[in-house]
């Protein structure tokens, strides 16, 4: 690596500028279609009727990115785009298929961004947000990327993230990476996006893209979704393949869809399904989750209200209290004032697991990418120090140092911590609480409203409902539930392993009743 950064943003601007030139040169008239908050179904209907084409849709979203990624709201949500000529060629191929009566499904011709820790073999680097990996070009798509392409999705670029999925420093600012800069919240660009799937969430929320893929180890899907006012589904561990994703910890890592509606998130989840022989945890399901999109999905559900995942923000608690009546009015039976029957005692063990698995999992990932510029954590840590002015201008690499200190001799200690954490969060945590009160699912506020971005002190993080499902490897859905002042907040729905259908029914029904999502104004705030 050199200390001089490649002109990523210049390349991005040139690509977008060429989009405008190509649009003009082809004489495309401006469409009357209203893209603001456009759903997958609306885009599909417009393509079916001939009002839009996949090519026109791609060009629209390229134009939106140039308006608000570095200029306008300056979201810094997108780090890389395919050259326009390549994106247009892909779109035209899909348009020809549609014209021939061949549709691949709901995602046919729909643009998608990938979080920049997911492999794609299309000339886009997989950087994990670090300048150290700016020349890491995978030779093969991640399994979920193969599935998205097969479903007709148009993967056009990469989304910014918290560098190394927020596992480099104890004092990090969520959404900042040395490769992409600081991602900003579209509802207030002085405030954080939370989590590591920052760019994916901000791009979807800001209407720069219809859909994006994020990843989570603990909170990196649900926290950004809640704080930017969108929907995400963190699936059961193994439902989506982990192959081709730069890891933190294989026992908790998963990809997940990020969208503005539950339906669109389900479409995307369905598209990524499939058993991957290269992933030992991977499994398949025999049905489409679309069948669970039921407007009466709350009727008869026994729902536990998790009070021990509240109390960190009075404004969020007040919004949540008001939404409990919505659940009850829709026919749900609420069992209130609950805590985990065996407490929450997995935190220390979870941290041990993350440190240990990060070191050895990263080496495993690089072993599958022999042309990558690094092969282990030790090399990355050394060059972070060597190029600290570029790579660590605001905070350090304390987590890298702690993870690098893990040794093979600590394998037994790690395995014991993993077993304890899984047991505490899963069978003794979520499962025991569901069983004790004969519940279908649990609900809680997802997290606090967005805090001010602070590159000196790091994140002002007060609490979240993410950890139980994350540590257990169980499914978790976050849906917008309202606002605290001008900032969106979310409601979390989580349950036992494989209960995606139950959660989708409840989350979709709740969303249909509340319609709490609204588009951000994309105007920076100065207070």
Catalytic residues: 115, 196, 220
Q: Phi and psi of 290, rounded to 5°?
A: -60, -30
Burial (CB count within 10 angstroms: exposed 0-12, middle 13-18, buried 19+), residue 180: buried
Quick check: helix, strand or coil at residue 205?
Answer: helix
Long-range pairs of 28-37 with CB within 8 A, sequence gap ≥ 24: 28/56, 28/59, 31/56, 31/60, 35/60, 35/64, 35/207, 36/207, 36/519, 37/207, 37/260, 37/517, 37/519
Q: Which neighbouring-strand residues pair with 403?
A: none
Measured between alpha carbons, how far is 142 from 329 in angstroms, rounded to an integer? 43
Helices (H), 297-451: 314-329, 347-367, 377-386, 388-391, 398-404, 411-425, 432-436
Contacts with 388 (C-beta within 8 Å, 6 or more apart), sequence order = none
Distances (CA, A) of 497 to 1, 104, 140, 264: 43, 29, 30, 22
Quick check: helix, strand or coil at residue 519?
Answer: coil
Measuring CA to CA, which residue among 311, 318, 256 is closest to residue 489? Answer: 318
The token duo for 48 is 């079916």
């Amino acid at each position: 690596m050199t200390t001089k950064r490649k002109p990523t943003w210049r390349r991005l601007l040139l690509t977008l500028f060429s989009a405008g030139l190509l649009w003009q040169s082809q004489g495309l008239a401006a469409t009357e279609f209203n893209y603001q908050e456009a759903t997958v179904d609306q885009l599909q209907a417009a393509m079916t009727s001939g009002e839009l084409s996949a090519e026109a849709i791609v060009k629209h979203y390229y134009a939106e990115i140039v308006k608000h990624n570095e200029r306008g709201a300056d979201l810094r949500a997108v780090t890389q785009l395919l050259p326009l000529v390549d994106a247009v060629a892909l779109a035209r191929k899909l348009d020809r298929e549609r014209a021939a009566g061949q549709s691949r499904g709901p995602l046919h011709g729909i643009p998608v961004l990938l979080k920049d820790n997911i492999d794609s073999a299309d000339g886009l680097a997989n950087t994990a947000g670090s300048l150290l990996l700016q020349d890491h070009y995978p030779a093969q798509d991640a399994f979920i990327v193969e599935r998205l392409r097969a479903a007709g999705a148009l993967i056009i670029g990469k989304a910014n993230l918290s560098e190394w999925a927020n596992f480099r420093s104890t004092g990090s600012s969520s959404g900042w990476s040395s490769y992409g800069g600081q991602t900003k919240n579209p509802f207030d660009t002085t405030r954080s996006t939370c989590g590591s799937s920052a760019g994916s969430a901000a791009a979807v929320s800001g209407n720069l893209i219809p859909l994006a893929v994020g990843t989570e180890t603990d909170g990196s899907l649900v926290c950004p979704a809640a704080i930017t006012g969108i929907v995400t589904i963190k699936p059961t561990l193994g439902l989506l393949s982990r192959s081709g994703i730069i890891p933190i910890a294989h026992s908790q890592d998963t990809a997940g869809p990020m969208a503005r509606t539950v339906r669109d998130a389900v479409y995307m989840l369905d598209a990524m399904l499939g058993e991957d022989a290269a992933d030992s945890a991977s499994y398949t399901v025999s049905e489409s989750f679309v069948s669970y999109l039921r407007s009466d999905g709350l009727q008869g559900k026994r729902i536990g209200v998790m009070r021990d995942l509240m109390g960190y923000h009075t404004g969020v608690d007040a919004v949540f209290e008001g939404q409990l009546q919505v659940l009850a009015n829709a026919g749900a039976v609420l069992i209130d004032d609950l805590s985990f029957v065996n407490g929450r005692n997995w935190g220390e063990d979870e941290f041990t697991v993350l440190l240990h698995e990060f070191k050895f999992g990263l080496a495993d990932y690089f072993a599958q990418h022999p042309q990558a510029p690094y092969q282990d954590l030790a090399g990355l840590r050394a060059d972070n120090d060597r190029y600290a002015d570029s790579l660590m201008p605001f905070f350090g690499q304390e987590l890298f140092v702690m993870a690098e200190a893990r040794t093979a001799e600590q394998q037994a200690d790690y395995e014991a911590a993993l077993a304890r954490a899984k047991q505490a969060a899963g069978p003794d945590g979520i499962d025991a609480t569901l069983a004790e009160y004969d519940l279908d699912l649990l609900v809680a506020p997802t997290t606090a409203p967005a805090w001010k971005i602070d590159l000196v002190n790091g994140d002002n993080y007060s609490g979240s409902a993410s950890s139980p499902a994350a540590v257990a490897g169980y499914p978790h859905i976050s849906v917008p539930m309202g606002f605290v002042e001008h900032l969106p907040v979310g409601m979390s729905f989580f349950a036992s392993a494989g209960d995606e259908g139950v959660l989708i029914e409840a989350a979709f029904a709740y969303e249909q009743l509340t319609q709490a999502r609204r588009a951000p104004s994309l105007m920076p705030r100065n207070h």
